[in-house]
Chains A and B, each alone.
Chain A
Amino acid sequence: GENVEQHPSTLSVQEGDSAVIKCTYSDSASNYFPWYKQELGKRPQLIIDIRSNVGEKKDQRIAVTLNKTAKHFSLHITETQPEDSAVYFCAASNLLGGTSYGKLTFGQGTILTVHP
């Protein structure tokens, strides 16, 4: 089955700096890669996702890049703010037959701390 590795496990940055979190996956059939943010004591929520037919996607201060050949994808947060402090999870899924269903395998998470 799919295995997703995520690095680093913890990341500490100063407000205004950029943060990068990297993930690798093992199943070449995976074609959907979301990122979830979990604030302390809250449930995970989707912040951005990318399909395998796209190399990069941006949404304001966050962006995700995908390298299918190397089987890795990354989350980039620019101009970090204290409210970006949270645990970030990457995930991979094989959305079957063009549908939007499939088992989602998560990485171990990255604790991001943004210092004011």
Chain B
Amino acid sequence: GAGVSQSPSNKVTEKGKDVELRCDPISGHTALYWYRQSLGQGLEFLIYFQGNSAPDKSGLPSDRFSAERTGGSVSTLTIQRTQQEDSAVYLCASSWGGSGANVLTFGAGSRLTVL
């Protein structure tokens, strides 16, 4: 695709429900990242996929969070038993790595609101 696509753009859910956020990276980009941005806060690293290597899950805040990447392309971030503190914008980014620099192209984000 022309850019990184994320869906849904907005999600409102009730506390305790599970949510799935989807990211479709740029075709040919082998690296995929998930970040979380709370209101007025920075970009908090969640997870990083690189090719067929084991993902770097060091940023996942709890075992309620998980992510997978199927076929080296689309990724899904799942949050189980959502809590109000999970409310944030979840940004996905992908990179090619062929330019000699790790340039991330971000999606527009999925805004999650947990009531």
Whether chains A and B associate is yes
Residue positions of A touching B, CB distance < 8 A: 1, 6, 32, 34, 36, 43-46, 49, 51, 89, 93, 95, 99-109
- If A34-B102, A105-B45, A108-B42 touch, does A43 touch B109 (CB 8 Å cutoff)? yes
Interface CB pairs A-B, < 8 A, 7: A43-B107, A101-B50, A101-B97, A101-B102, A103-B45, A106-B43, A109-B42
CA–CA, A51 and B103, complex, Å: 12
Taking CB atoms, residues of chain B closer than 8 Å to A103 are 33, 45, 48, 56, 58
Residue positions of B touching A, CB distance < 8 A: 30-31, 33, 35, 41-45, 48, 50, 56, 58, 91, 95-104, 106-109
- If A1-B58, A100-B101, A106-B35 touch, does A89 touch B42 (CB 8 Å cutoff)? yes
Q: Smallest Cβ distance from B91 to chain A, in angstroms?
A: 7
Contact B109 A100 (CB under 8 A): no
- If A101-B97, A104-B104 touch, does A43 touch B42 (CB 8 Å cutoff)? no
Contact B43 A99 (CB under 8 A): no
CA–CA, A106 and B91, complex, Å: 13
- If A34-B102, A89-B42 touch, does A100 touch B108 (CB 8 Å cutoff)? no
- If A43-B91, A43-B108, A99-B97 touch, does A106 touch B42 (CB 8 Å cutoff)? yes
CA–CA, A106 and B45, complex, Å: 8
CA–CA, A83 and B93, complex, Å: 24
Q: Smallest Cβ distance from B51 to chain A, in angstroms?
A: 8
Taking CB atoms, residues of chain B closer than 8 Å to A49 are 101, 103
Q: Smallest Cβ distance from B90 to chain A, in angstroms?
A: 12
- If A34-B103, A43-B109 touch, does A100 touch B98 (CB 8 Å cutoff)? yes
Q: Which residue of A lies closest to B30 (CB)?
A: A101
CA–CA, A106 and B109, complex, Å: 17
Given A100-B102, A104-B102, 9 further pairs, Cβ under 8 A: A32-B102, A34-B102, A44-B91, A46-B104, A51-B101, A93-B102, A100-B98, A103-B56, A109-B43
Taking CB atoms, residues of chain A closer than 8 Å to B103 are 34, 46, 49
Q: Which residue of A lies closest to B56 (CB)?
A: A103
